[in-house]
Each structure stands twice: as structure tokens, then as C-alpha cells.
Chains A and B, each alone.
Chain A
């Protein structure tokens, strides 16, 4: 609340204290004949001050509660951000390792093809006599590009 940010807390305590003192003094003044005239206005003013003072006591308590909640929330958000970063690092590390493994396995198979498959007698015979039909290549390309077969003819 802007008024509580603007004014120091002691003012609101003072309002309540002045109100209580005013109310007590109004009762005392009632018994003094020369001050009896001021009894009612002081009493009304004191009741108003007490009402305002009590309201601000509640508002200050509420404000303190909110500030505590905000501080608690800030700590939780900071903890969550740290945990989030920690998990990010774990996931990145794990993913990089998995990707390396996948690439290595793929490369191993290609190396095997270059090293062993090309020397295989049956394969050599097949390569010499049977080129892959264009329709097979077109079908493969269509599948690889996820396009209709007609587009790769």
C-alpha cells in the first residue's frame, strides 16, 4: 500500500496510541466541569483515530505477511532456477554422449561396408552385374524426402 511505503510505521502506532490516550482523557475530562465542553469532540476524534490506527495495524501485519511470502517465493524461484540449470547440464551431457554413440555406431557400419562388404565375393559379383534399378532409387529417394513417388521419377 502506497501510504505505508510513504510514511514510517511509527506514525501508525502513534495514531493508535494517541487515539487510546484521547479516549481515556475524554472520560477523565468528563469529570472536570470546565473541560466538559470538549468531552464529546475529543471522544469522537479519539474513536476515529483508534479505528484508523487499528486498520493500519492490520494493514501493517498483512504487509509483513506478504513481504515474507514474497521473500519465500524469491528463494523458491532462485532454487528452481538453479535446479533447472543443473538438470539442463545433465540432459545436455547425456544427449551429447548418446549422439556420439549413435554417430560412432553409424560410422562403424559405413567403415565396415568400405572395409569388408566391398571385398565380399558375392557383393563384388552383384556390383559388376546388377546396378540398382532406377525405380528402386526413385522409391528410396521418395521415402527419404517423404515425397510422393511421382515427384522423384
Chain B
């Protein structure tokens, strides 16, 4: 009976060897604030007697806003693809 108890206790002690954890984890990085900015609302034309010149200027401003937003969006895509590749390189090895 004593021998059985001894065997049980020693087995429990030996099984604890299986409890191994790896304490290293790679954290996916935070994106730069610059590319996290939301795209602004496009400008609308106010007033009743609007000249073609003001109309053209507002349209130009809106096109510029679009291109700014496109640049940020492209940067976001590029950032994500590069960071994903770096992250996967750690995991993949």
C-alpha cells in the first residue's frame, strides 16, 4: 500500500515536467498616428450666387483632399503588408 502511494506521488512529481511554457510573444506593432487619421469630409459649396471660380476652387480643394486621403490609405496598406511580413518572419522560423 505504501509502495502504491509512493508511486502515485512520484508520478505526480514527474508529470509536472510536462508543464513548460514559452514566455516570449511578439506583439503586433501599433500603426503610426499619421496614417490612422480619418479622411476629412469633402467641402460643399455654400451660398446662392456662386461663381464658376469659387466652384472650381472648391472642386480643386476636394480633389486635393481625395489625393491626401489616397496617400494615407496607400501608406496604410504598405505599412500593414510590411509589418505582417516582419511578424510572419518571426512566427515562420
Residues in B lying within 8 Å of A, measured CB to CB? 10, 13-14, 16-17, 19-20, 22-26, 29, 32, 34-35, 41-45, 48-53, 55-64, 67-68, 71-72, 75, 78-79, 82-83, 86-87, 89-90, 93
Contacts and interface: CB of A to CB of B under 8 A. Distances in A.
Contact of A140 (B13, B22, B59, B68): B59
Interface residues of A, number: 54
Contacts, number: 135
B29 A70 contact: no
Nearest 9 Cβ contacts at the A-B interface: A106-B64, A141-B44, A144-B42, A95-B75, A73-B24, A102-B67, A98-B71, A127-B51, A132-B50
B71 A102 contact: yes
Tell me the dominant secondary structure on chain A's binding face.
Answer: helix
Contacts of A83: 86
Given A77-B90, A102-B71, A110-B60, A131 B41 contact: no
B19 A70 contact: no
13 contacts: A3-B16, A69-B22, A76-B90, A77-B90, A84-B86, A94-B75, A106-B64, A113-B60, A117-B53, A117-B56, A132-B52, A137-B50, A141-B44
Contacts of A107: 64
B79 A91 contact: yes
B91 to A, nearest CB: 10
Contact of A110 (B22, B34, B61, B82): B61
Contacts of B35: 91, 95
